[in-house]
Chain A
């Protein structure tokens, strides 16, 4: 892991790093005449003009890519409506919510979020049903449902419950939902034609905000009036004249520490997902850019990074759940 990581880091620090995108772009030059590699829109301008394959892949859009039997095995499906220019516009116009223009039209990431949620429901509810049937028949769970049960139990008994503190059973569904939702979103980004909803800062920020609300509400419920002490710093152990000074100094620090936790959660997940995809795409781009036996190197690297991404998908979901539980536990603990 370590030398491998250093290799990658050094690779990214070299001029190549800044040239990766260019290199990826360059590969379009010879391909521009023949076909489209990943089903992206070809450069409308001259064939010399490089095409960016990475940015459309990691950003959200109103177009969905589906498997299709054509020259590049993909077809763009517009989730909104086509404008006369051929550009895909949002399905609905923006609505005004609290003085802000918000466009609620479905995007690619919303679709994959829904898909992940549906898959999570099918797998988990299916496992629950299978588990009940097996329990009645054999007295224990086996097979796939047994695996899901083991995962749920592990997260419940080893991740959520020890961290949120005593009487934390109410937080178990929240932590488990976070885990499986994020996991399936991460995994959907790794399959062909998929998109990583967790690579969208809006998604991770919302999940982090939900966590923030849960954390603070758990603090209010557990600590009651003592909760205010976690925002307004007033230490009775200090000498009297020091207290207002420390109040003024520490209160912003407390607030920042409260807000930085979900911020870090959101950025961590988003950055991990986005960066992983950029690396994989850059390596795939290098395969085509080299156009020689040397393509084998980025091919192997791409496979290795893809395997690493599989692990990261699991790890980031786990970390998000773990840290959320820890934050809940930290604030609940203050009341004891």
Chain B
């Protein structure tokens, strides 16, 4: 590319120098000697342009772009912070949920235990009452029986005595007989159920 244009340039220069008749107005064509006046103006224009452009074009342009980049960066940062916050909240919620679930389970288990205990207690109590009731009934029955035995015995004694008196009417106060009867009665079983006196 450059070599091409340089070749073209040198060829053109050669052509120009080879045809002096082309210099129409008698001026020598001198492409390579700089004009100091143009150099001066170039310098002035460039410096002014540099000042104006950097002050009024490049500075605001880059500033705006940097502001935009900063804004984007902030957005990204805040989005990231939001996401982290959301994740934290989610974890918190999860933890709370887990805790309440465990609590519920604990409560259920506890109440089950309580109910069990209550049931057992009541059962025990019922049994106790039943037993007491039974015992009392048994005691009363015993008492009744004892009284019945005592009554029966007195009755038997009286009967025996009555029988004996009938006998005595014949044997006349036979003390020996009477003792005999007494000892018999003492050893005789009460009733017909085979249960002996205690």
Q: Which residues of A contact B (CB under 8 A)?
A: 1, 5, 8-9, 12-13, 17-22, 25, 41, 43, 49-52, 54-56, 58-60, 87, 97, 100, 102-107, 109-110, 113-114, 117, 120-121, 124-125, 127-129, 131-132, 135, 139-141, 148-149, 152-153, 156, 172-174, 176-177, 180-181, 197, 200-203, 205-207, 210, 268, 271-272, 274-276, 278-279, 282, 312
Residues from chain B with Cβ under 8 Å of A276 in the complex: 5, 8
Assess whether A173 is in contact with B53, with CB atoms less than 8 Å apart.
yes
Q: How far is the CB of A221 from chain B (nearest CB, A)?
A: 17
Assess whether A139 is in contact with B57, with CB atoms less than 8 Å apart.
no
**Considering residues B21, B34, B37, which has the most beta carbons from chain A within 10 angstroms of its beta carbon?**
B37
**Chain A CB within 8 A of B86 CB:** no
Choose, from B59-67, B110-118, B144-152, B170-178, the stretch at the interface.
B59-67
Q: Which residues of B contact A (CB under 8 A)?
A: 1-9, 11-12, 14-16, 18-19, 21-25, 29, 31-43, 45-46, 48-50, 52-54, 56-62, 64-65, 67-68, 71
Residues from chain B with Cβ under 8 Å of A278 in the complex: 8-9, 12
Assess whether B52 is in contact with A54, with CB atoms less than 8 Å apart.
no
How far, in angstroms, from A192 to B93 measured CA to CA in the complex?
Answer: 75
Assess whether A103 is in contact with B6, with CB atoms less than 8 Å apart.
no
Given contacts A13-B11, A203-B42, contact A121 B52 (CB under 8 A): yes
Q: How far is the CB of B97 from chain A (nearest CB, A)?
A: 40
Interface SS majority for chain A? helix
Assess whether A173 is in contact with B54, with CB atoms less than 8 Å apart.
yes
* Nearest B residue to A184, CB-CB: B49
Q: How far is the CB of B198 from chain A (nearest CB, A)?
A: 111
Assess whether A128 is in contact with B31, with CB atoms less than 8 Å apart.
no
Q: How far is the CB of B122 from chain A (nearest CB, A)?
A: 76
How far, in angstroms, from A12 to B70 measured CA to CA in the complex?
Answer: 55
Residues from chain A with Cβ under 8 Å of B53 in the complex: 120-121, 124-125, 173, 176-177, 180
* Nearest A residue to B29, CB-CB: A55
Assess whether B40 is in contact with A121, with CB atoms less than 8 Å apart.
no
How far, in angstroms, from A8 to B6 measured CA to CA in the complex?
Answer: 12
Interface SS majority for chain B? helix
* Nearest B residue to A58, CB-CB: B31
Q: How far is the CB of A94 from chain B (nearest CB, A)?
A: 8
How far, in angstroms, from A25 to B168 measured CA to CA in the complex?
Answer: 197
Assess whether A121 is in contact with B57, with CB atoms less than 8 Å apart.
yes
Assess whether A55 is in contact with B22, with CB atoms less than 8 Å apart.
yes
Residues from chain B with Cβ under 8 Å of A210 in the complex: 43, 46
A/B interface sample: 16 pairs, CB < 8 A: A5-B1, A17-B11, A21-B12, A21-B22, A41-B24, A52-B22, A60-B38, A103-B35, A106-B41, A120-B53, A128-B58, A173-B53, A173-B58, A177-B58, A205-B34, A272-B2
Assess whether B38 is in contact with A275, with CB atoms less than 8 Å apart.
no
* Nearest B residue to A41, CB-CB: B24
How far, in angstroms, from A282 to B71 measured CA to CA in the complex?
Answer: 55
Assess whether A177 is in contact with B46, with CB atoms less than 8 Å apart.
yes
Assess whether A181 is in contact with B46, with CB atoms less than 8 Å apart.
yes
Assess whether B64 is in contact with A131, with CB atoms less than 8 Å apart.
yes
Residues from chain A with Cβ under 8 Å of B48 in the complex: 117
Given contacts A272-B2, A275-B5, contact A52 B23 (CB under 8 A): yes
**Considering residues B4, B6, B50, which has the most beta carbons from chain A within 10 angstroms of its beta carbon?**
B4
How far, in angstroms, from A59 to B12 measured CA to CA in the complex?
Answer: 13
Q: How far is the CB of B69 from chain A (nearest CB, A)?
A: 10
Q: How far is the CB of A252 from chain B (nearest CB, A)?
A: 24
How far, in angstroms, from A142 to B75 measured CA to CA in the complex?
Answer: 21
How far, in angstroms, from A5 to B50 measured CA to CA in the complex?
Answer: 36
Assess whether A110 is in contact with B49, with CB atoms less than 8 Å apart.
no
Given contacts A21-B12, A177-B46, contact A131 B60 (CB under 8 A): yes
Given contacts A107-B38, A202-B38, contact A125 B8 (CB under 8 A): no
Assess whether B45 is in contact with A117, with CB atoms less than 8 Å apart.
yes
* Nearest B residue to A52, CB-CB: B22
Assess whether B39 is in contact with A206, with CB atoms less than 8 Å apart.
yes
How far, in angstroms, from A92 to B31 measured CA to CA in the complex?
Answer: 23
How far, in angstroms, from A87 to B195 measured CA to CA in the complex?
Answer: 171
Given contacts A113-B42, A206-B43, contact A127 B57 (CB under 8 A): yes
How far, in angstroms, from A13 to B4 measured CA to CA in the complex?
Answer: 11
* Nearest A residue to B19, CB-CB: A21
Q: How far is the CB of B83 from chain A (nearest CB, A)?
A: 22
How far, in angstroms, from A145 to B146 measured CA to CA in the complex?
Answer: 126
* 10 further contact pairs, Cβ within 8 A, besides A55-B22, A120-B49, A210-B43: A12-B11, A52-B22, A113-B42, A127-B57, A135-B68, A139-B71, A152-B62, A156-B62, A176-B58, A206-B34
Q: How far is the CB of B13 from chain A (nearest CB, A)?
A: 9
How far, in angstroms, from A141 to B62 measured CA to CA in the complex?
Answer: 12
How far, in angstroms, from A276 to B57 measured CA to CA in the complex?
Answer: 31
How far, in angstroms, from A51 to B21 measured CA to CA in the complex?
Answer: 9
* Nearest B residue to A108, CB-CB: B38
**Considering residues A180, A202, A272, which has the most beta carbons from chain B within 10 angstroms of its beta carbon?**
A202
